[in-house]
Chain A
Amino acid sequence: MITKRLAWLAMIAAAMLFAGCSSTGTKEGEGAGGAAVVEGGQGAQTAGAQQGGAWTGNPLDNPNSPLSTRKIYFDFDRSEIRPEFADVLRAHAAYLAGHPSTTVVVEGHCDERGSREYNIALGERRANAVKQFLEAEGVDPAQINTISYGEERPEAFGHDEAAWALNRRAVPVY
């Protein structure tokens, strides 16, 4: 549990470090960015930031961006956004607000416990919780669709709390 938390904290910290550059996005004409990478190659952090992005691909694909976090996890039978996911969702909100023509489908999922149709309803609640968070952060509602898969599409196939925790999730799919 503790190591998992630490891993999350590290990820979030890394995400925050890179938040500034990733949100600027790819500039027109920068091309594949080979040159930029070479230029900033001596110290990826400083040079990259100065150049407006060591990552010159689609910011959604930047593994160092909080946008790369696509799994928002939930407690059992709950649909409240846990505080540790607020920054990740704010990054997604900023991205969507900055790209008004981009749409996202938020999938809601549950663990296998309980009845299946109730879980479809619970999964929809989770997807809606993410949708509402994004809307509160300024995203146009028309950019966000939701679908609940309930317990029909598990991510982890175990039958214990470790697997269940991974399956209680909402996933923004761009």
Chain B
Amino acid sequence: MQFSKSMAALFALLLTIALPAQALEIEITQGVEGALPIAVVPFPYTGKGNPPAQDVAAVITADLGRSGRFRTLPLKDMLARPSRADQVDFRDWRAVNVENLVIGEVLPNGPSGFMVKFRLYDVFRGEQITGFSLPTTQHDLRSTAHQIADMIYEELIGQRGAFNTRIAYITSIRDRKGKETVHLRVADADGYNPQTIVSSRDPLMSPAWSPDGRRLAYASFEKGRPSIWVQEVFSGKRRKLTSFKGINGAPAWSPDGRYLALTLSKDGNPDIYIMDVRRRSLRPLTRHWAIDTEPAWSPDGKYIVFTSDRGGSPQIYRMPASGGKAERITFEGGYNARASYAPDGRYLTLVTRVNGDYRIGMLDTSSGDLQVMSRGKLDESPSFAPNGSMIIYAGRDRGKGVLAAVSTDGRVRQRLALQAGDVREPAWSPYYQQQ
């Protein structure tokens, strides 16, 4: 009996939300008492012709659930399945202690389009909070679902949602002969719709989004030497920025998009340089015999944090982006590296070694507190969502590189749905800005 009880507990912990073709695994790691109970009722297709191949409500449910801010009601616990306003009986939802209700439907819209209608209700007040009709296509249906999740999130949490954003990452695939092909890919923030934007037989590393979400900088070892490239995500057009002797790596955009901080070892050992992207002019930022690498800008553009082993082990240092004195900011643990800022400028996420394991940490720069956010042995490459609500990182599962995300309150950890291959170095996009 003990056994079945613990098994039941395990199943309760591993809440798996099935989606067509792929699966998202969401692990609730701590109680979700503070989370808002919400029900998202399946959106039926009401029209002639082929129904859409995406379950819109399932995408919204998965988004809200993985943010850690919502507790989503399982389908089997729904006493009714309304899709229009006149079908809603708030007693059905008060009975299962749901505070907010989302209903909607998908309608045909023109020869190949769809219209997604949704309404968000406050169950206890019995009122509609918001409601929209969004025109879309089969291709953009997931994106529309993410937009709806963003609207719900913003309405109820009071902070902009980050579900309709993207991630860039590196995938390595080996053929039967062991020959490796490395891809730089871009996918939705939940791992769906992956698209390859660069492929190479040689390593690709360190993708970094420009602040407008339109360009990616990355390091490539094509032609047998490292170089830094900037590529337009939509057109695929790219240009080589640097190919100096030695290391060319770790590109990081300034918040205004004018500069790239990067690591070069052209003068003998790895130092951080700032390049004016348009003028291609270069100025050194650090000059030290130790390793200085992995620069990242503070959101206000005033500071750069970086990894240095000048004190004997890799630790995070901060210095003014205009140059000056480097100040050590990590003191816990023998290994802290690859830091990047949360949008609030207060927290940093980084790789930290804990009892020999490499894990994702979150450093409060005001108090100096370092909180460990992940549980793997080889976790790396963390970056914040553009609203600071989640951290995406790379870990290993049964020897394979996988991507995971953890809510910044630490309550929900999730493995992203991605296809075969060794996946690593995720970078969460900023909010996309129209030109």
Residues of A within 8 A of B (CB): 77, 112-118, 120-122, 124-125, 146-150, 152-153, 157, 159
Contacts and interface: CB of A to CB of B under 8 A. Distances in A.
16 contacts: A116-B380, A116-B424, A118-B293, A120-B293, A121-B263, A121-B291, A121-B293, A124-B246, A124-B269, A125-B269, A148-B247, A152-B205, A157-B399, A159-B378, A159-B396, A159-B399
Given A121-B263, A152-B221, A114 B293 contact: no
Contacts of A113: 358, 378
B338 A115 contact: yes
Contacts of B238: none
B225 A115 contact: no
A112 B376 CA distance: 14
B39 interface: no
Contacts of A152: 203, 205, 221
Contacts of B27: none
A113 B226 CA distance: 21
A116 B172 CA distance: 14
Contacts of A77: 313
A116 to B, nearest CB: 6
A157 B398 CA distance: 12
B247 A118 contact: no
B307 to A, nearest CB: 5
Contact of B205 (A116, A146, A157): A116
Contacts of B246: 124, 146
Contacts of B338: 115-118
B108 interface: no
Contacts of A118: 291, 293-294, 307, 309, 314, 337-338
Contact of A116 (B206, B221, B314, B396): B206
A154 to B, nearest CB: 10
Q: Quick one: which of B203, B269, B396 has the most chain A CB within 10 A?
A: B203
A114 B335 contact: yes
Contact of B247 (A115, A121, A157, A159): A121
What is the interface of chain A mostly: helix, strand, loop, or mixed?
A: mixed
Contacts of B265: 121, 124
Contacts of A157: 399
Contacts of A150: 205
Nearest to B424: A116
Contacts of A149: 203, 221
B224 A147 contact: yes
A84 to B, nearest CB: 25
B381 A116 contact: yes
A110 B424 CA distance: 16
Contacts of A146: 246
A115 B203 contact: no
Contacts of B269: 124-125
B399 A124 contact: no
Instruction: List 6 tightest A-B contacts by C-beta distance, closest first.
Output: A152-B203, A115-B338, A115-B337, A121-B291, A117-B250, A121-B270
Nearest to B263: A117
A21 B250 CA distance: 47
Nearest to B178: A157
Contacts of B225: 147
Nearest to A117: B250
Interface string B390-428: 000000100100000000000000000000000011000
A118 B309 CA distance: 9
A116 B313 CA distance: 15
Interface string B301-326: 00000010100011000000000000
B250 A114 contact: no
Nearest to A105: B224
A86 to B, nearest CB: 24
A122 B294 CA distance: 13
A168 to B, nearest CB: 15
A114 B224 CA distance: 24
A150 B380 CA distance: 14
Contacts of B205: 116-117, 120, 150, 152
